[in-house]
Amino acid sequence: MIYGVVLGAAFIGGTILLTIASYLAMRFITGGDPEGRDRELASSIVVRIAALHGLILALVFAQEMVEYQQLKYESATEADAIADVFYDAERYGIEQGLPIQQALAEYLRVVINQEWAELGSTGELSQTAWDQWDVAYRGVLDLVPATGRQASLRDHMLRQMQAIAEVRVKRDNHGPDSINVMFWFAALSGVILVAFGYYPYAPERRTVMLLSVVGAYTGIILFLIYAFSNPYSQPGTLNPSAYLRLQKEIASPPEAS
């Protein structure tokens, strides 16, 4: 929480300083516009640049929000698939299904306690989680149905295990490198160029305050984009609540006797 507040303040303060510094630098280079001859042209250019800049920010912000919500949906889908296999294994038979249940319980533990954080730092899926998935998958493959009911349960478990693998691959695409560095170049360039366009206006208190407002709002948007770009780590961490609820629901399967 504190990290997010500090980082957000840094984004906002940084864009305000960049905006004011760019404005003052342009006034220093041009000498200002004491006669007001450049105001109309400068305003026209600023409007065009600001429109393009706002469009870029809006599109990227919307994209990150969609991916953030998509990960939330995919996590719920995977948790449902895990629950289906877990309980179908119990319906299949305690003796045959217990190893599958144990592997899935361990898989959940690894995803929650290890993989989620690793995705935030390395952007890679945990091999340990894959190993537990493989144990459960092989356990389902090795089942030999003796009745039509067991055959139906085995087929359903296989489909759900494959669905879990598909969601895992998708989860790998929501890592920390979702935003290209060129976006940050375009975003900061937009801040600088928009600030340049205000050089005809004298650095009075109201002018500086209005430029600070523009810089602050841009900083807020950039901070939110940054936060949502990596849902596995702060400041925009998406809590693996679907997995936590399932883990609490199934607890730990009983040990084999």
Return averaged pLDDT per consecutive 10 residues of the chain, 257 residues in all.
Answer: 90 97 94 84 93 96 93 96 96 93 96 93 92 97 95 97 95 78 94 94 92 96 93 90 94 54
- Cβ of 220: how many Cβ atoms within 10 Å? 14
Name residue, tokens 């940054």: 226
Dist. CA 257–CA 237, nearest whole Å: 40
Q: How far is CA 46 from CA 81, 115, 206, 208, 214, in A?
A: 52, 46, 18, 16, 13
- Cβ of 147: how many Cβ atoms within 10 Å? 9
* Furthest C-alpha separation in the chain: 94
The predicted model scores a pTM of: 0.84
Query: What secondary structure letter does DSSP report for 175?
Result: S
- Phi then psi dihedrals of residue 142, to 5 deg: -80, -10
End-to-end, the C-alpha distance of the chain in Å comes to 45
The pLDDT, as a whole number, for residue 255 is 54
Dist. CA 138–CA 102, nearest whole Å: 13
